[in-house]
């Protein structure tokens, strides 16, 4: 497997999503363990790291600075703005002045002069995308960021944004369990020369083996809010895994590696960013970049994990309303 391109930079095809080191799936990882994992990632050649303002309310960015800031020239750094926390609640603010202020704050927390890739974390319905991208373009001109990214946006917004300033990367959820990018944005990114960054490529732990049991998840685990992990839907989804286990055995890899290798087949512009708090899983994830799946395995996975095979929608209605990603016809009105 060869490196893949974001903007003008080549990186290892499997990146590292840093979110769950600081929040979302349970208590933060102890700083010494998190630091060891980040350094191990660089040691193994994983040189694309993804963080965001909202991850741990800025503490994830600070963790990266304190852990590997001295190795800044060894990794391509991505962070995000627009989605934040105010008075304990998630807020969206894509006003140009807010984007510029958020960037300055991230640069300070990351203790760096430049962020390689800076995403709009979510669309803000109250601010035209053109105005927000214009602000990001100003940050490029100022040398504070190198490339502009978008997250959880559909084809229409991507085209509008790209018309203002070249977009280097689009990040959205894509896995065997979530096939929605295949509706439009996966092909659009290929057409426009935009890197496609797949978050939650192992299905938020569902495609691990054994999978994460919702009954044992921490009270603060955000997966408790996702319909596919509910007590009603999860048993039906578990039935999908048996076939994946057999195919992984045929290939000689783990189910998680199978899921990551499947994504890499979907285009040379696709870069998965699995997250983990465990060094053994980190090693497996990075090694997945060396696996090439035979065509007949890919075909079986495509069919077995057809979009309608998942039980329950990706997001609950309230969360779905905060993104602009395309839905399949059968998902319309699904609750």
Which pLDDT does position 284 carry in this prediction? 97
> Length of the chain, please?
335
Which pLDDT does position 49 carry in this prediction? 98
Which pLDDT does position 270 carry in this prediction? 98
Cβ atoms of 48 and 16 closer than 8 Å: yes
Token duo for residue 27: 């208590």
* Residue tagged active-site, from 55, 174, 234, 315: 55
> How many angstroms separate the CA atoms of 273 and 260, rounded?
9
Active site residue 174: no
Which pLDDT does position 210 carry in this prediction? 81
Which residues does the chain have with pLDDT short of 50? 335
One-character DSSP codes across 186-212? HHHHHHHT-EEEEESTTGGGTTSSSPP
> How many angstroms separate the CA atoms of 77 and 220, rounded?
27
Q: How far is CA 106 from the centre of its chain?
A: 18
What is the value of pTM for the model shown?
0.96
Residue 225: CB atoms within 10 Å: 12
Token duo for residue 7: 């903007």
- Output DSSP code: residue 189: H
Using alpha carbons only, give the angle 36, 42, 43 rounded to the nearest 5 degrees: 80
Token duo for residue 112: 């760096």
- Full set of structural domains in the chain with CATH: 4-329 (3.20.20.100)
Phi, psi of 122 (to 5 degrees): -150, 160
> How many angstroms separate the CA atoms of 286 and 289, rounded?
6
Query: 76: exposed, middle or buried (C-beta count within 10 Å: 0-12, 13-18, 19+)?
Result: buried
């Amino acid at each position: 497997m060869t490196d893949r391109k974001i903007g003008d930079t080549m990186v290892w095809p499997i990146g590292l999503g840093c979110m769950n080191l600081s929040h979302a799936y349970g208590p933060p990882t102890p700083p010494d363990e998190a630091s060891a994992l980040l350094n191990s990632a660089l040691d193994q050649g994983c040189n694309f790291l993804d963080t965001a303002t909202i991850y741990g309310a800025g503490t994830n960015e600070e963790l990266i600075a304190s852990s590997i800031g001295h190795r800044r020239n060894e990794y391509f750094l991505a962070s995000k703005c627009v989605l934040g926390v105010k008075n304990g609640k998630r807020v969206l603010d894509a006003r140009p002045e807010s984007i510029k202020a958020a960037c300055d704050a991230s640069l300070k927390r990351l203790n760096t002069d430049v962020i390689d890739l800076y995403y709009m974390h979510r669309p803000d319905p109250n601010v035209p995308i053109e105005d927000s991208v214009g602000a990001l373009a100003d940050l490029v001109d100022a040398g504070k960021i190198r490339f502009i990214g978008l997250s959880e946006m559909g084809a229409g917004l991507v085209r509008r944004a790209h018309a203002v300033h070249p977009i280097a990367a689009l990040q959205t959820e894509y896995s065997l369990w979530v096939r929605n990018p295949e509706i439009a944005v996966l092909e659009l990114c290929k057409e426009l020369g935009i890197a496609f960054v797949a978050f939650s490529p192992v299905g938020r732990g569902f495609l691990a083996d054994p999978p994460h049991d919702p009954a044992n998840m921490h009270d603060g685990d955000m997966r408790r809010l996702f319909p596919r992990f509910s007590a009603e839907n999860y048993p039906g989804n578990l039935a999908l895994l048996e076939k994946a286990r057999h195919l992984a055995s045929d290939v000689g890899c783990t189910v998680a590696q199978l899921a990551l290798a499947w994504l890499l087949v979907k285009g040379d512009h696709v870069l998965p960013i699995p997250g983990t708090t465990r060094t053994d899983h980190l090693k497996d994830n990075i090694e997945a970049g060396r696996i090439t799946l035979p065509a007949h395995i890919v075909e079986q996975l495509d069919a077995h994990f057809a979009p309608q095979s998942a039980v329950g929608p990706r997001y609950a209605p309230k969360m779905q309303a905060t993104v602009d990603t395309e839905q399949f016809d059968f998902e319309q009105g699904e609750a």
